[in-house]
């Protein structure tokens, strides 16, 4: 999950930057009011295909094509991130199972003693006398 947070924030930052640049671009190139420029930017970046807010000049059309390419790329990256997050999240438990299986395969000749009560202490003494390495699990410290 830690890997995805910076990626998602980066994608959001790119889309926000593209929206800001698009809005400023329409205001500068076409002389539109800010709200109309923002609306045109949003429908262009998201590739919704609504009708243009107003007729575009030749530089305005060129700007719209560049903005559209950036928007399609940004939205594509966003969906790719979501897809990779879902796949990674779904496969994380599989990786954990494989890791546990590998760890269990490597364990050999070990003794785990559960409980260090009266019987557990007797078993410990026998294990110590044999020179056996062991681990004790006890809830009462």
Each residue of 7-45: pLDDT tens digit? 889 889 999 999 999 999 999 999 999 999 999 999 999
Q: What's the chain look like in SS3?
A: CCCHHHHHHHHHHHHHHHHHHHHHHHHHHHCCCHHHHHHHHHHHHCCCCCCCCCCCCHHHHHHHHHHHHHHHHHHHHHHHHHHHHHHHHHHHHHHHHHHHHHHHHHCCCCEEEECCCHHHHHHHHHHHHHCCCEEEECCCC
| pLDDT band with cut points at 50, 70 and 90 for residue 122 | very high
The reported pLDDT for the residue numbered 19 is 95
CA dist., res. 96 & res. 129, Å (int): 37
| Tokens of residue 120, six digits | 């557990």
Residue 140 belongs to domain spanning: 109-141
Residues 120 and 69 in one domain: no
The reported pLDDT for the residue numbered 64 is 92
Residues 14 and 72 in one domain: yes
Residues 65 and 133 in one domain: no
Each residue of 40-78: pLDDT tens digit? 999 999 888 778 888 899 999 999 999 999 999 998 998
Residues 84 and 17 in one domain: yes
Residues 24 and 47 in one domain: yes
Residues 101 and 113 in one domain: no
């Amino acid at each position: 999950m830690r890997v995805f947070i910076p990626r998602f924030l980066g994608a959001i930052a790119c889309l926000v930057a593209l929206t800001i640049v698009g809005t400023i671009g329409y205001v500068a190139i076409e002389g539109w009011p800010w709200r109309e420029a923002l609306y045109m930017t949003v429908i262009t970046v998201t590739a919704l295909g609504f009708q243009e807010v107003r007729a575009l000049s030749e530089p305005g059309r060129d700007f719209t094509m560049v903005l559209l390419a950036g928007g399609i790329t940004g939205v594509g990256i966003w969906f790719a991130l979501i897809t990779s997050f879902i796949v990674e999240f779904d496969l994380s438990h599989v990786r954990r199972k494989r890791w546990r299986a590998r760890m269990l395969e490597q364990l050999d000749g070990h003794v785990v003693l559960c409980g260090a009560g009266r019987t557990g202490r007797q078993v410990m003494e026998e294990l110590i006398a044999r020179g056996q390495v062991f681990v004790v699990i006890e809830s009462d410290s």
